[in-house]
Amino acid sequence: MAEIRFAGYGGQGIIRSGIIAGMAASIYDNKHATMSQSFGPEARGGACSSQLVVSDTKVLYPYITDADVLVAMSQAGYDKFEPELSERKGVLLYDEDLVKPKASRGKIKAYAIPAQRFAEQLGRKIVANVVMLGFFTAVTKIVTYEAMQKALPESVPEKAVELNMKAFERGYQHGLEVTKK
């Protein structure tokens, strides 16, 4: 079982990230997944998160108790949810331009990506969450590359499929590079 928290602020696609990863896991990887979300009253610009529990068997408790993965796309999201990251097996994925992590604790492994910068290079910073999903897929291997490739086109507007696939691939390739080191 894997407990994953996507955290950032409204407008970054944090909720959508949980939906896409959950769809990929449950529909295309034949796993069980539950997703829940929370966001502040401000909506766009306010703190938000989605929590995803993925398992090979039925998910009996749909909330995170000891997060295996924290995907942080804002400093506020990191600050709020880093304490729930498992010291024994936690993996921190963060946007290196938006999050400055404190000293690591326990056996937490941290991986950085300039997700927003990569998205801007592709022409639309709105796909930073999809860059991060590619990175998440390569680093954690919780959801397969193939499953994400199938789930993405179903989860974005038709006119944006090509851009989102490029964004996913950019993040995925960066994830492969950082895990080789």
Mean pLDDT, the chain, integer:
94
* Residue 63: pLDDT over 70: yes
At 44, the pLDDT band (50, 70, 90 cuts) reads low
List, for residues 130-143, the tens digit of each pLDDT value: 999 999 999 999 99
Mean pLDDT of 9-32: 95
Dihedral sign (CA 50, 55, 60, 64): negative
Mean pLDDT of 79-86: 94
DSSP label at residue 90: -
Distance between CA atoms of 164 and 167, rounded to whole angstroms? 5
**Would you call 68 helix, strand, or coil by DSSP?**
coil
Mean pLDDT of 52-75: 94
Domains of the chain with bracketed CATH: 2-180 (3.40.920.10)
At 45, the pLDDT band (50, 70, 90 cuts) reads low
Distance between CA atoms of 28 and 21, rounded to whole angstroms? 10
